[in-house]
Amino acid sequence: MGNLIHNLLPEILIIISSFLVLFNSLFNTKKIKEVNIYISSAGIILALTFLFMQAGTISFMNNSLINSEYTKSIKILILISSFISLCFINFGKNELINKFSGEYTFLILISITGSLLLVSAREFFTLIISLELLSIPIYLITAMGGNPKVAIEGATKLFFFGTVSTVLIIFSAVLYFAGTGTTLINFSELDSTDLISMLSLFFFFLSICFKSGLIPMHFWLSDTYQSAPSNLLPYLSTVPKIAVISMLIGLINYNSFFESFSSMKNIIFIFSACSIIYGSILTLKQNNLFRLLAYSGIPHAGMMVIFSIINIELSYSFIFIYFCFYIFSNLALYMTLSFITNNQYSFLADNLKGLYKDSPYISIILIVSILSLAGVPLTAGFWGKFNLIILTYASYGAFYTSFILIGAAIGFYYYLRIIKLILSDKNINSLNKIDISIQNKILLGFCILIIIIIGLNPNLISYLI
């Protein structure tokens, strides 16, 4: 029992923090928001402390969960990004968030717990419960957007497709149990010539496509990003996607999956390549800034999924470089945009014209984060994409690599188009003066610092995590 508690201590601390926040919200005092910040921050910092103390690889709860150096590093990234997101939420001046600070923080902490468990999950029912813990709070928070009609529509679509995704993965679990007699996930035990086994794998990966925003399960992205509270987007754009994709990478590599299903490499790459190319083309057609950014996440998801078909021993440190650049670039980007507008539904990319004249500080933060997402040298994004290209070429040759290069080139174009608008002399749709608290400036500065440090010396990530 002691060993079990020790291995689950980070998750237990986050759960305790969530209920302390909920209990605190019962008291109608002026300092509810501040106390919530202290409670959630203490819970996350303690969870990080115990994570750093974990070492080695160990399976527990009858092999339903696993802790390893890989899961440890991913959880540290998730907790750091969640900590920044929560601080940003509570330091903001959104009236709705201020009114329901306790409920909002409680739901985020429950979602964080789900993401931590998901990274370690190695059994179907544990995996399904973790996915639902991660997803259900997001369904609820999405409905709390500034425009009630639009927010409820976006949350309904997200809930509908999320339910379909859950049904798919439950069906996958049933088929897997029919083929193996167990719910412990070890794909190497499946028969590669058996139709039931192939269907189990197909439905499993289709569910992953939804959770990570891959083609063809990407329908919810644009509506959700347009309607959700702008304060939620830093969390929504990073933690769920990273948790799901890291779970897929760990699960496939942990089970020596491709030794039994070598053909699945090609199937996974087809999904990834379609997401990279078609997602980039969809992004080019968008005028609404938040729809553009929502679709721009599809190629990134496709690139991250490619890590699942590369030997994890070769790509271990490179995975974290990509995850780090994606997390901190999106955190800086969406935190900055939330200061500019609370109405994502009608905010066009053209509204950024002349932003540099109105607010140089905001413009610099936006430009650095966008350059990183585009993969420009001297930013973390360059090393993330460069390493992926090198690994893919070494493993599969020029054909597979060409899809990544094409997607990166298209992404380079639409990201630089946004920067061109920011630096444009045509100062139309001028924005009001943007007021940023010192706490949020520190958060933004930290994200940009990480982007630049990794851009200058990517090897530092292996020492930090």
Name residue 213's amino acid.
G
Q: What is the pLDDT of residues 354-366, one digit of tens each?
A: 778 778 888 888 8
Specify the higher pLDDT residue, 126 or 30.
126
At residue 432, what are phi and psi to the nearest 5 degrees?
-70, 165
Highest-pLDDT range among 45-49, 145-149, 210-214: 45-49
* Local confidence band at 342 (pLDDT 50, 70, 90 cut-offs): low
Output the CA–CA distances (angstroms, integers) from residue 106 to 112, 153, 233, 243, in the order listed.
10, 23, 17, 19
C-alpha to C-alpha distance for 398 and 405, rounded to whole angstroms: 10
C-alpha to C-alpha distance for 134 and 138, rounded to whole angstroms: 7
C-alpha to C-alpha distance for 195 and 229, rounded to whole angstroms: 43
Q: What is the pLDDT of residues 252-302, one digit of tens each?
A: 765 556 656 666 777 788 888 888 888 888 888 888 888 888 888 888 888
Cβ atoms of 190 and 176 closer than 8 Å = yes
Which residues in 409-421 are b (16+ Cβ under 10 Å) and which e? ebbbebbeebbeb
Residue 95 tokens read as 């009236």
Neighbours of 303 (CB within 10 A): 26
pLDDT of residue 231: 80
pLDDT of residue 380: 86
In 3-state terms the chain splits into helix, strand, coil percentages (rounded to 5) of 80, 0, 20
What percentage of residues in the chain have a pLDDT greater than 90? Answer: 5
Choose among 324, 220, 218: nearest CA to 281: 218
What percentage of residues in the chain have a pLDDT greater than 70? Answer: 86
**Mean of the pLDDT values across residues 403-432?**
78
First to last CA, the chain: 28
pLDDT of residue 463: 61
Output the CA–CA distances (angstroms, integers) from residue 284 to 312, 409, 448, in the order listed.
33, 12, 26
pLDDT of residue 112: 92
**Mean of the pLDDT values across residues 433-440?**
74
pLDDT of residue 29: 63
The model's pTM: 0.89
Q: What is the pLDDT of residues 201-227, one digit of tens each?
A: 888 888 888 888 887 777 777 777 777
pLDDT surpasses 80 at 80: yes
Q: What interhelical angle do 124-142 and 148-180 show, nearest 10?
A: 170
Query: Which DSSP state fits 184?
Result: B
